[in-house]
């Protein structure tokens, strides 16, 4: 009897083992196609990735989490100082946010989040001309292709239709006298020339009118093709037939207006192929083709960072590891796995990033007519990183950090915020690139074109996803990087949080302030824009502008230069308007603020040879660029922060060199001004106080000045996109095994940067946004009862 029972148990055990082995074989088939069976089991053992998620049954996790958190007395542990701020991790936060951040953000715990790994297929696998979004089962097609399976070829013309006096059509950046690549609306020399694949960008193919004055500008005659660029006659100036070796040796002449503008090419004659710039350089899971990531099998997303069910778990990004997989029951295993759940420990806030159609990002990056447009870096002939001075590079930097962040989630049900990645920095800089961008339909207004892109993105996420209507978009985040910020945001999305560089509340300047007509939004009808301000400090946030890493400034620690080495009382170096040579001609430039400053304190002669009425030796207000601008800032106590054509990067210049910013722009917020205590590290004056500026600054005593300088030194790293630099440093190390000098310097910085600061602010907003107070949720926040009560 006993023997028979033992025998039956043995057969049962054998059957169980067989079924488990079969289950693992199926999982291996879908999840680990590139890893051998032995490597697969070794990966599981060495990376602590359990393969059974069925034991993770949640029972009131929020209460369990609260009960295990330490008790915090926020008022006692983090009292406000005399300037009504709480210093947390080096930043003087405003008291209403400071105490909560100091205590609650610092003790937040990880919680279990179920990440959804999708595996939906696309028609014809996108015909090799696009990337399959495996969450939606839709193709994102490369430039020049469309249709459900990317099988339809588009014709993106380079030129507008011809006119009697303009045989090549009216001007557009893509205007072309030679071969037009209609997949990208880009111009090349074409067949019949020695170098048919050499770009023929913009004015290169047209005749140039010499300037009528010695210092005047040359003008392009867009109605007359320049046949010399195609000539094989060595005595004439050419381009499409010039041998680079001979040109570099000065043996032949060529047209100086021709140069190498397109991304992915290097050298005076575009003769060296180099890496193009893509978001996160495709995360190592794809190829960057002119700005559009062509993802490897099993991966998708704008940066190829999202794994599907056919990817190898050993290659998953860090923000999805270690993962505990919930494998389908073997008895009910579908023929094809289209979704897997992976439990990952994460800290809130969690941000879901929409994988939008490429019209809003990839297609704007692919085929840029100027390689510097809307990105923060390019690559040289050795594929080494060259950081750009593109102020709008912050949008790409922030986007890349978010995509690689542990705060990212693929599960919209668990998300606290939703980021909508419309690259408006690309839309606005590429508005004149080609006829297919349809600027003509918007009366030439880039502001109207941008509004239309955002509105279409809003309709897309409303149609494809369920998340918008749950909060009327209040938990969504949009980034408006251009000079006028979110002034021309469509009315449908105004409930959302706006990330901007221009915090105009319209309390004083209640109309478009730009001096450039193409960005003016005053004429956009209220039926499209609504009647909202440009910035609402209760929900929006001003982010720092992008600044190229300056290795010498970091090595010299200019931000830490003490008071005794700062000999200039006040410093401002920038365009001062029409009263100066080469100054901006518009009276509306800088809303007249820089002009008023120069009239009072100008230290360089204007066109009439006059200095400012109150010119002083220790006050520098000049349009003449300093030979060492950063050192000049670091040699000053106070530095001017005024508008340009909308926002400018002067706040960042000041903070990064340790200078006390003097802000003059009524009703317009600066970076973090609604959450940081500006009184502790800056001076803000009204516009009508400009004549009294220097008297006000001289009234500060040494103790007050050193207090502000000390606080600038505490927060300066929050104005750096350090995470973006370090992500690129890691990519360079992984691919090429090298470490640049800028990477060495930034690796020694450990304080919170721009991205870390935004995450902290979102954590506070998650518990303090008024609209959330009546929202019932079972989410586990990883916080103590005191923190939840405080919120």
* CA atoms of 469 and 724, how far apart (whole Å): 32
Residue 220: strand pairing partners: 208
Angle at CA 243, nearest 5°, toward 242 and 246?
A: 110
Encode pLDDT of 307-330 as tens digits. Answer: 999 999 999 999 999 999 876 665
Q: How far apart are CA 115 and CA 56, in angstroms?
A: 13
Task: Give the pLDDT confidence score for residue 29 in this predicted structure.
Answer: 34
Q: Tell me what pLDDT residue 629 has.
A: 96
Counted residue by residue, the chain has a size of 791
Question: At 711, is the pLDDT very low, low, confident or very high (cuts 50, 70, 90)?
Answer: very high
For residue 221, is pLDDT > 50?
yes
Q: What is the pLDDT of residue 217?
A: 78
Under 8 Å between Cβ of 759 and 726 = no
Q: Measured between alpha carbons, how far is 323 from 320 in angstroms, rounded to an integer? A: 6
* pLDDT tens track for 86-116: 999 999 999 989 999 999 998 999 999 999 9
Tell whether the model's pLDDT for residue 730 goes beyond 70.
yes
Q: Name which of 473, 483, 460, 479 is nearest 359 in CA terms.
A: 460
pLDDT at 55 over 90: no
Phi, psi of 485 (to 5 degrees): 60, -135
Dihedral of CA atoms 251, 256, 262, 265 in degrees, nearest 10, equals 20
Neighbour-count burial for 388-425, b at 16+ CB within 10 Å, e otherwise: bebbbbbbbbbbbbbbbbbbbbbebebbbbbbbbbbbb
| pLDDT, average across residues 391-396 | 93
The pLDDT tens digits for 453-502 are 999 999 999 999 999 999 999 999 999 999 999 999 999 999 999 999 99
Token look-up 């297929």 returns 121
How far apart, in whole angstroms, are the C-alpha atoms of residue 144 and residue 153? 6
Q: Are the CB atoms for 378 and 263 separated by under 8 Å?
A: yes
Return the pLDDT at 69: 58
What backbone torsions phi and psi does residue 699 show, to the nearest 5 degrees?
Answer: -75, -15
Q: Please report how many Cα atoms fall inside a 13 Å half-sphere around the Cα of residue 445, on the Cβ side.
A: 20
Average pLDDT over the chain, rounded to an integer: 88
Task: Name the β-bridge partners of 266.
Answer: 272
Helices 754-768, 722-736: crossing angle, 10 deg rounding? 130
The pLDDT assigned to 334 comes to 55
41 pLDDT above the threshold of 70 = no
Q: Which phi and psi angles does 145 have, rounded to 5°? A: -135, 150
Say which range, 419-428, 466-475, 518-527, 667-676, has the weakest mean pLDDT.
518-527
Phi-psi region of 51 (alpha: psi -120 to 50; beta: other; left: phi over 0): alpha
Determine the average pLDDT of the residues in 212-227.
Answer: 83
pLDDT of residue 255: 85
Q: How far apart are alpha carbons 177 and 220 in whole angstroms?
A: 13
> For position 732, what pLDDT does the model report?
96
pLDDT-derived band at 21 (thresholds 50, 70, 90) equals: very low
**Tens digits of residue pLDDT in 166-183:** 889 999 999 999 899 999
Rounded Cα gap, residues 131 and 227, in angstroms: 40
Q: What is the pLDDT of residue 327?
A: 67
Cβ-based burial of 367 (10 A; exposed 0-12, middle 13-18, buried ≥19):
buried
Give the list of residues 6+ apart from residue 777 with CB closer than 8 angstroms, or none: none
How far, rounded to the nearest angstrom, does the alpha carbon of residue 420 sit from its chain's CA centroid? 12
What confidence score (pLDDT) does residue 328 get?
62
């Amino acid at each position: 009897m006993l023997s028979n029972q033992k025998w039956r148990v043995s057969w049962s055990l054998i059957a169980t083992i067989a079924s488990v082995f079969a289950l693992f074989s199926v999982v291996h088939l879908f999840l680990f196609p590139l890893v051998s069976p032995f490597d697969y089991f070794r990966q599981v053992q060495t990376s602590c990735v359990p393969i059974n998620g069925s034991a993770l049954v949640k029972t009131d996790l929020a209460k369990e989490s609260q009960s295990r958190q330490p008790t915090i007395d926020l008022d006692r542990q983090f009292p406000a100082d005399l300037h009504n701020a709480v210093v947390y991790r080096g930043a003087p936060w405003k008291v209403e946010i400071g105490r909560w951040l100091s205590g609650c953000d610092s003790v937040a715990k990880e919680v279990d989040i179920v990440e959804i790994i999708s595996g939906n297929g696309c028609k014809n696998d996108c015909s090799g001309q696009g990337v399959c979004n495996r969450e939606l089962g839709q193709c994102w097609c490369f430039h020049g292709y469309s249709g459900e399976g990317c099988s339809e070829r588009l014709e993106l013309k380079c030129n507008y239709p011809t006119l009697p006096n303009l045989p090549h059509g009216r001007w557009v950046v893509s205007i072309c006298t030679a071969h037009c690549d209609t997949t990208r609306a880009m111009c090349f020399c074409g067949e019949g020339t020695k170098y048919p694949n050499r770009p023929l960008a913009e004015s290169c193919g047209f005749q140039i009118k010499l300037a009528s004055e010695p210092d005047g500008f040359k003008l392009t005659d867009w109605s007359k093709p320049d046949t010399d660029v195609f000539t094989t006659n060595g005595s004439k100036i050419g381009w499409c037939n010039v041998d680079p070796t001979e040109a570099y040796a000065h043996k032949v002449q060529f047209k100086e207006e021709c140069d190498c503008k397109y991304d992915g090419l290097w050298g005076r004659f575009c003769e060296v192929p180099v890496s193009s710039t893509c978001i996160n350089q495709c995360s190592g899971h794809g190829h960057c083709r002119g700005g559009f990531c062509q993802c490897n099998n099993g991966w998708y997303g704008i940066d190829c960072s999202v794994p599907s069910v056919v990817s190898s778990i050993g290659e998953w990004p860090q923000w999805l590891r270690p993962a505990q997989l919930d494998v389908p029951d073997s008895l009910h295993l579908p023929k094809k796995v289209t979704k897997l759940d992976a439990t990952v420990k994460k800290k809130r806030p969690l941000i879901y990033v929409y994988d939008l159609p490429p019209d809003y990002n990839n297609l704007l990056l692919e085929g840029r007519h100027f390689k510097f447009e809307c990105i923060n870096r390019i690559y040289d002939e050795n594929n080494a990183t060259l950081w750009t001075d593109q102020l709008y590079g912050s949008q790409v930097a922030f986007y890349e950090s978010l995509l690689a962040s542990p705060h990212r989630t693929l599960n919209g049900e668990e998300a606290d915020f939703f980021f909508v990645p419309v690259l408006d920095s690309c839309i606005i800089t590429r508005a004149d690139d080609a006829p297919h961008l349809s600027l003509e339909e918007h009366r030439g207004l880039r502001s109207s074109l941008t509004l239309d892109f955002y509105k279409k993105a809003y309709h897309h996420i409303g149609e494809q996803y369920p998340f918008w209507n749950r909060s009327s978009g209040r938990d969504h985040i949009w980034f408006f990087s251009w000079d006028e910020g979110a002034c021309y945001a469509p009315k449908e999305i105004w409930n959302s949080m706006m990330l901007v560089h221009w915090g105009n509340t319209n309390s004083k300047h209640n109309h478009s302030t730009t001096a450039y007509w193409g960005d003016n939004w005053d004429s956009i009808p209220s039926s499209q824009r609504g009647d909202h301000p440009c910035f609402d400090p209760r929900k929006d946030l001003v982010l720092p502008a992008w600044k190229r890493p300056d290795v010498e400034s970091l090595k010299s620690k200019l931000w830490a230069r003490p008071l005794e080495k700062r000999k200039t009382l006040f410093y401002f170096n920038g365009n001062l308007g029409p009263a100066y040579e080469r100054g901006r001609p518009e009276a509306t430039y800088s809303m007249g603020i820089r002009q008023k400053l120069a009239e009072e304190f100008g230290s360089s002669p204007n066109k009439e040879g006059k200095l400012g009425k109150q010119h002083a030796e220790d006050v520098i207000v000049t349009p003449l660029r300093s030979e060492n601008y950063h050192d000049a800032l670091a040699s000053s106590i106070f530095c001017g922060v005024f508008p340009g054509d909308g926002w400018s990067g002067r706040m960042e210049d000041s903070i990064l060199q340790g200078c006390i910013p003097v802000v003059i722009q009524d009703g317009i917020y600066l970076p973090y001004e609604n959450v940081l205590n500006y009184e502790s590290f800056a001076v803000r004056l009204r516009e009508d106080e400009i004549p009294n500026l220097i008297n006000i600054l001289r009234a500060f005593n040494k103790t007050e000045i050193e207090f502000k300088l000390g606080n600038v030194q505490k927060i300066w790293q929050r104005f750096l996109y350090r995470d973006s630099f370090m992500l690129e440093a890691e990519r360079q190390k992984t691919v090429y095994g090298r470490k640049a000098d800028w990477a060495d310097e930034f690796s020694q910085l450990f304080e919170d940067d721009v991205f870390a600061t935004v995450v902290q602010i979102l954590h506070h907003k998650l518990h303090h946004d008024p609209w959330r107070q009546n929202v019932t949720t079972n989410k586990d926040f990883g916080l103590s009862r005191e923190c939840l009560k405080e919120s």
